[in-house]
Amino acid sequence: MTGVITTYLPNKNYGFIKGDDKKDYFFHKSNIDKKDQHKICDGALVTFEQKATPKGYKATKIVINSDSDIKYNIPDNIYTSKSNYIKGWENVFISHWIVHSSSRKSPDEAKKEIIEKAKLVGANSILNLEYYKTTGSEPGTGYGTHYFTIHNFKGQLANIGKKSLNGKYSKADLSKIDIYAKTLKEKLKEKTQEAQVKRIYFWIFMICLIIISWVIATSVSNNIIATIITVILFMLSYIFSHATDYDSWLEEIK
């Protein structure tokens, strides 16, 4: 009997073959010779022996009649999973990098952010995704401190795929996350260091202005001038006191 593999679930090690008699035959990975198991993919042409069982038809002694140089198709969107695999897809490459995201708005916003960050290093999936909450604080509009919830996600970057006779990507193409992540991490660390230096200069400038404002106010006994300078200092503080940490969201697994 001849047929074609129509479905294969690598996480379950089984699939279905559409025989030339139009019937669907269940098969398990163990029904294929070990030397040919790497060629299992949707669309592969096979020959097999048919067997009727109480649960339906089964394919045994399967031989795959396809080229061994089979490539992968990948999902159109970034997939996420709380476990270490995506159902129906093969883990082609699991990276040594974890990505983090956070949002004050909502868990949905934090999840959108982590997906966008995964795209930056060429990953098409995030495994072992974990959601957790932290608490942030800031000065309130009145007395006391305002506390708020921060929504966080973290997960391991990976590339998944499905073997196909019409696949566009080789295993090497999907195994470059670590290289991309390492390069991006170095660039972000440089950016963080530059921001920290700018922040030091900013605070030196602020201290000098504070001293000048008090000297002027004391010499002319004019609180208006001191007030104007104070307002300017607050404006500068708002503009330049941005976060100086650009790289912590991308974490290497040691």
pLDDT tier, 184 (very low <50, low <70, confident <90, very high otherwise): very high
Picking from 30-39, 49-58, 143-152, which range would have the lowest pLDDT averaged per residue? 143-152
The answer to whether position 180 is within a domain reads no
Q: Which domain holds residue 235?
A: 185-252
Q: Does pLDDT of 149 surpass 90?
A: yes
Q: Are residues 224 and 139 in the same domain?
A: no
Please name which of 74, 70, 6 lies closest in space to residue 15, comparing C-alpha atoms: 6
Q: Are residues 93 and 143 in the same domain?
A: yes
CATH of the domain at 25: 2.40.50.140
Longest dimension (CA), the chain: 103
Domain boundary at 175, 206, 227, which? Answer: 175
pTM of the model: 0.72
DSSP 77: S
Please give the torsion angle defined by the CA atoms of residues 69, 70, 71 and 72, in that order, rounded to the nearest 10 degrees.
-160
The answer to whether position 18 is within a domain reads yes
Q: What is the pLDDT of residues 6-50, one digit of tens each?
A: 988 888 899 999 999 999 999 999 999 888 888 898 888 999 999
Q: Are residues 60 and 109 in the same domain?
A: no
The answer to whether position 200 is within a domain reads yes
Q: Are residues 106 and 171 in the same domain?
A: yes
Domain boundary at 34, 64, 94, which? Answer: 64
Q: Do 72 and 171 touch, CB atoms closer than 8 A? A: yes
